[in-house]
Structure 1
Amino acid sequence: MSVSGLCELCTQNEIVDGCDRCGRLVCERHYDEASGLCTDCLTEVEPTGDDTRRPDGVDTYRV
């Protein structure tokens, strides 16, 4: 991606890529290359710890 500017999450570092889910332009620190998501969206899609928020039998959500 060829853009310049500051990360929309930290407003300190240069933009590396955009989130595939919300479209925010984020720096390397706030972008997960494997998923293509910013760190905010990643925590919403893949909650940390136990998965008590997911109904029984559901292990994948599609957005």
Structure 2
Amino acid sequence: MSVSGLCQICEARPAEYRCDACGTLACEMHFERERGLCADCVARADPTRPADDEDVDVHRF
């Protein structure tokens, strides 16, 4: 699937993927290919996962 635009999580890198759960456009750093989920959905699906994981940035406001 072709995805264009910026990552909707970091708003800095080009989006390469679309989250299967919520449709968010995500870059390589904010997408878990094995699950097909963006970093936000991964965090919601697995609340025990550390927020400071090296390969996923989680923004909380």
TM-score if structure 1 supplies the norm length? Answer: 0.71
Distance 2:47 2:13 in 1: 25
Runs of 4+ in 1 over 3 A off after TM superposition: none
Distance 2:35 2:7 in 1: 18
What amino acid sits opposite 2:38 in the alignment? C
Higher RCO structure (Cα 8 Å, ≥6 apart): 2
Distance 2:11 2:19 in 1: 15
> 1:10 — aligned with what?
10
In the TM superposition, residue 2 of structure 1 has moved relative to its aligned partner by 1.1
TM-score if structure 2 supplies the norm length? Answer: 0.73
**Structure 1 unpaired stretches of 5+:** 50-63
CA-based RMSD of the aligned residues comes to 1.1
In the TM superposition, residue 17 of structure 1 has moved relative to its aligned partner by 0.5
> 1:26 — aligned with what?
26
**Structure 2 unpaired stretches of 5+:** 50-61
What amino acid sits opposite 1:2 in the alignment? S
Question: Which has the greater radius of gyration?
Answer: 1
